[in-house]
Structure 1
């Protein structure tokens, strides 16, 4: 069996559009006719340019190869161009293609992916959700800076069975390096934590999200302000390329530090562990794929750290996350996004019930992709999957930031 053909589909989720402006899906076919699906998480270049990157990676390093030879193909790509270091865009291309290889191998053997990478240890995976509007009174963009609305959304999610909710009221993500948060951003973050904790009590963990927007000193100030509400984690408080500084934050703040959605391969995650990160958040469509992230999980286990796969993408990456989570002893939880489009794209093969995802036992990733639906919603915009704010934060006015990919209406 050889890898023979590749198709790349860039699909745009319908309203409300949670999960980014578009998802990059890869369809890989073998010379025996088996089809595998994968997903490349975001990209630092536009989707048309990314198509060419994905195709170059496939044709240069994978076409004609046995899909079993995951490690061989990874080494070719990791070493390409005399680099021997992680390249975010190239590894993003490989990650989605690698997921497709595992889908192929599972289908060829009529076994789920988790059976091929160590076997199923966990039948059910604890899920968490970001707080999105849940009521007609939750208007945008006000929802993102209104603690009362966030608390209502949190209560709604907990009443559905979720035992962990994530929110990020701490101000905008800008193209500048880490900044000192405005005092009103700190106050709003405390207000969110207090309101949500009051609403859910001890029924759920609070996950405090940021996206690397703070300076080291700013991160320590923010962390100290919210400690009293016992968040389960403090997510990526400083930029991801300053992991040595992360250790200062981890040592100064009494909240477990989490990071990983913008890291790739064992090399970068090992540095995060050395910096005191206690919860790793790999996005499998970027981190190196299923096998490389299995290695990352082993590294984390040796450091007594836990893994919580990140998801701000489509359901194929979600399916890969769940297959990996089924096999590792140090899984904490997995991010989920519940929208009708996410469900429809994989024909409802993954669901959240009472706050947990049941690991599917079907062949490969355990999902069925609605290819017609994906193609019918082709992305025709010019934005990136996620985009940072160019303007600096304000120290006079309220900082309102709807996110890197504003919702559709």
Structure 2
């Protein structure tokens, strides 16, 4: 068996655009006709350029190779051009190609990927949802009531999600985040964040955990001030309280607060996660399978986490192929905590697939279909091209001021 062909797809995520503006998929096919799909999570460069990078990496490192040789292919791509260091662009492209190889391997063996990575230990995967606007686009128009800054509206949506079956909800009311972070939270940001936790806790009681998110916004002292305001509401986690560059600084925040620190969505490879674990910066690791370096790399990270009593909570703010890979990892990881889902995995978000993801009363049920268990819908993807210039995610460009 050897890899013969690559196809790339850029899909415009339809409104309400939960999960981002677009998704970048790849499909690899062997000479014997077995195809596998993967997804690249790269928010730094335009999607067409990222798709071109996937073609280049495939032609240089993967074409003609046996897809079973994951370790060799990974090292070739990681070390190409005399690099051998964590690089978010290389790791993102490599993640999509590696993921597609696992899909092929599973189909060739007639086994789900989780069966090949140690076997299923979690038959149901607890899931959480972000609190999205109850109606309309994920990016509300200026002046519209917003679940992002209105604690009462957020509490209403939280109750709706808990009534559906979710036992955890995530929200991030900490104010704007910019390319200049970290910064000190403004008094209004502290007050609003405490109000969110207070109102949501009052609304859902002990039926759900509160997952307090930031985007690496704060300085160490600013994160401590925020944590002190939130501790009374016992959140399950304080997500990425400072920018991700310095694990020692994040560890200082983790030692200060009783709220568990969760982090990792912006990290790639085992090396960056090892530094975070060694520093004691986070006890909940949020690797994104479309960025971290692929399934085997994530499995290695999960194993490292076990040795430090840390758990994994795979992150998802991209498309449903990464969601499928996250599910495979979670199913075979003993230290799995909770899985991010995009709502209940239905509606426009799933329109790029022919297959579904099973969500039942707050839990995702891992697929036992061969490979990743998902297939692209080429016609639906072709009917929804991404023609905008905006990146998958954007940040404010001016510093936050009081």
* TM-score between the two structures when normalised by the length of structure 2: 0.96
Match of 1:258 among 245, 252, 262: 262
Which residue pairs with 1:246 in the alignment? 250
Residues 1:336 and 2:341 are matched in the alignment: yes
- List aligned pairs for 1:76-225, cutoff 5 A: 76-134=76-134, 140=144, 142-225=146-229
> What is the alpha-carbon root mean square deviation over aligned residues?
1.3
Q: 1:141 to 1:2 in 2, by over 3 A?
A: farther
**1: CA distance between counterparts of 2:355 and 2:163?**
22
SS of residue in 2 equivalent to 1:294: helix
**2: CA distance between counterparts of 1:12 and 1:343?**
12
SS of residue in 1 equivalent to 2:4: strand
Across the two proteins, how many residue pairs are aligned to each other? 394
**2: CA distance between counterparts of 1:81 and 1:202?**
52
Asked if the contact 2:42/2:50 (under 8 Å) is kept, the reply is: no
Asked if the contact 2:25/2:96 (under 8 Å) is kept, the reply is: yes
Asked if the contact 2:122/2:331 (under 8 Å) is kept, the reply is: yes
Asked if the contact 2:13/2:21 (under 8 Å) is kept, the reply is: yes
**2: CA distance between counterparts of 1:217 and 1:56?**
44
Asked if the contact 1:43/1:92 (under 8 Å) is kept, the reply is: no
**2: CA distance between counterparts of 1:42 and 1:141?**
30
Q: Which 10-residue stretch deviates more, 87-96 or 76-85?
A: 76-85
Residues 1:17 and 2:17 are matched in the alignment: yes
**1: CA distance between counterparts of 2:166 and 2:176?**
27
Show CA shifts across 1:270-322 (max 9, x none): 11112221000000000010000000000000100000000001100000000
Which residue pairs with 2:303 in the alignment? 298
Asked if the contact 2:18/2:349 (under 8 Å) is kept, the reply is: no
**2: CA distance between counterparts of 1:100 and 1:272?**
28
Asked if the contact 2:120/2:331 (under 8 Å) is kept, the reply is: yes
Show CA shifts across 1:138-189 (max 9, x none): 9746321000000011000000000000000001110103000101000000
**2: CA distance between counterparts of 1:33 and 1:22?**
28
Q: CA deviation at 1:377?
A: 0.8
Which residue pairs with 1:403 in the alignment? none
Which residue pairs with 1:54 in the alignment? 54
* TM-score between the two structures when normalised by the length of structure 1: 0.94
**2: CA distance between counterparts of 1:126 and 1:147?**
25
**2: CA distance between counterparts of 1:34 and 1:76?**
23
Match of 2:314 among 281, 294, 309: 309
Q: CA deviation at 1:135?
A: 5.4
Which residues of structure 1 form unaligned runs of 5+? 396-409
**2: CA distance between counterparts of 1:368 and 1:83?**
33
Asked if the contact 2:131/2:147 (under 8 Å) is kept, the reply is: no
**2: CA distance between counterparts of 1:42 and 1:21?**
12
